[in-house]
Amino acid sequence: MTPQEFRDIVYGFQTSRIILTSLELNLFNELEDGAKTSGEISRALSTDEKALDRLLNALCSLDILEKKDGKFSNTSFASKYLVKGKPDYISNMMHASNLWRSWSSLTDIVRSGKSQGRIGDGSDSNWLENFIEAMHYRAIRQAPADIKMIDLTNVKTVLDLGGGSAAYAMAFVKAKPEIKAVVFDLPDVIPLTEKYISDAGLSDKVKTIKGNYLHDNIGSGYDLIFLSAIVHSNSYEENKNLIRKCAEALNKNGQIVIQDYAMNEERTVPAGGAFFALNMLVNTQAGDTYTKREIFSWLESAGIQKISMKETNHITAQIAGRKD
C-alpha cells in the first residue's frame, strides 16, 4: 500500500457522507422530473442554497449528477438506482445512514468497552423500516441460491427465526411448494413482515409468530430451523442457549441451519467478518462474529450431529446439523 492509497482509505468517508446526505434530502427524487438550478432545488428541499450548491457540485465530480448551463440533473445511474420508488432503487442505503451515526462512536466504545447499542433504540422512528428494507434488499437476492444448498428432503415445516421480511421463508416455500413456513420475530417487526408476505401473495404459505427468541417459546414440530444473520446479534452464551432451544423444537431428524460469518481462529478471516464484529460492537449490547469452532460447539452441546459447513456465494457460510 502506498501513502496515497492509505490516504484515500482514510478520507473515503467524505464520498460516503456526500451520497448519504443526498439520499436523506431526497435529492435524486427531486431531480427526476428534469434539470434544475441549485436555487430551485434548495427551495424545494428547504436547504441553504450555497451549501446545497456545493453538495450538488461534489455529486457531479462523482459522476452521480450532471451539470449543464447552471442546471443539475440525474445521470442514468442516479435515475435508475437512487430514485425512491423505482424498481431498481438501492433501498439499503438509508440503513447505512443509520450505521454512520453509531460508527461515529467507535473510538469511545473501544476506550470504554461499552457498546451504546444504538440500532433500534427508538431515537429514529424510521430506523426499523430502513433496517428491514436493507435486510430484504440483500436477502431477496441471495435467498434462492442459498436455499438450493440445503437438503429439503422430508422437510415440510420451516421456522425462519428472526426472519425479518420473510425473504428466506418465502424462498423456502417457492423452492418446495409443500413446505409451510413460519417467521418468528419481534412484535414491532411482524407487521412489516406480514406486508412483505402479503405483497408476494404468500400469506397462505408463510405464517408469523411474535416474540423474543431469547426469552419466548418459539413453537415446536419443525423439520428445519433456519437462522440467517442471527447469531452475530447475540452473546456466546445467548447463542448456546438459543441453539439448545432450537434443537428442542425440532422433529426427529430435523435440521438446524445457521447462516452467518464463520471466522478463522485468529478472527481475521473473512475480512468482512472482522469489520462486522466492529459493526456489532457499536450497534448491539453483546453481538459479535464467531469462529467456526464456536458455532460447531453450540450445535454439539445441543445434541446436534452430522455437522458440516458450506461456503455460500457471498461472504458468509452455512453450518448445518441434524437432531437424532
Cα separation, 195 vs 172, in Å, equals 18
Cα(first)–Cα(last) distance of the chain, in Å? 51
pTM for the whole structure: 0.86
- Spell 299-313 as b/e; 16+ CB within 10 A means b: beebebeebeeeeee
Cα separation, 206 vs 168, in Å, equals 10
Q: Are 111 and 28 in contact (CB under 8 A)?
A: no
Fold of 127-323: Rossmann fold (3.40.50)
For residue 210, give the amino acid letter. Answer: K
Q: Are 29 and 102 in contact (CB under 8 A)?
A: no
- Spell 141-152 as b/e; 16+ CB within 10 A means b: ebbeebbeebeb
Grid coordinates belonging to 310: 458450506
Q: Are 86 and 74 in contact (CB under 8 A)?
A: no
The alpha-helical segments, DSSP class H, found in the chain are 3-10, 12-24, 27-30, 38-45, 49-61, 76-81, 93-103, 106-112, 127-148, 167-175, 190-199, 236-249, 271-283, 292-301
Residue-level pLDDT at 126: 78
Kindly report the number of other CB atoms within 10 A of residue 248's CB atom: 12
- Classify residue 317 by its DSSP letter: E
**Given CA atoms 29, 132, 236, 144 in this order, what sign does their dihedral have?**
negative
Residue-level pLDDT at 116: 63
Which residue's entry shows cell 423474543?
A: 212
Q: Taking the C-alpha atoms of 103, 281, 95 and 212 in order, what is their torsion angle to the nearest 10 degrees?
A: -150
Fold of 3-90: Arc Repressor Mutant, subunit A (1.10.10)
What is the full per-residue pLDDT of the chain (324 aa) written as tens digits? 898 999 999 999 999 999 999 999 999 999 999 999 999 999 999 999 999 999 999 999 999 999 999 999 999 999 999 999 899 999 888 888 888 888 988 999 998 887 765 554 444 557 888 889 888 988 999 999 999 999 999 999 999 999 999 999 999 999 999 999 999 999 999 999 999 999 999 999 999 999 999 999 999 999 999 999 999 999 999 999 999 999 999 999 999 999 999 999 999 999 999 999 999 999 988 999 999 999 999 999 999 999 999 998 777 899 999 988
Q: Is-cis flag, bond preceding 270, omega within 30? A: yes
Q: Are 180 and 207 in contact (CB under 8 A)?
A: yes
Cα separation, 195 vs 303, in Å, equals 36
Domain ranges of the chain: 3-90, 127-323
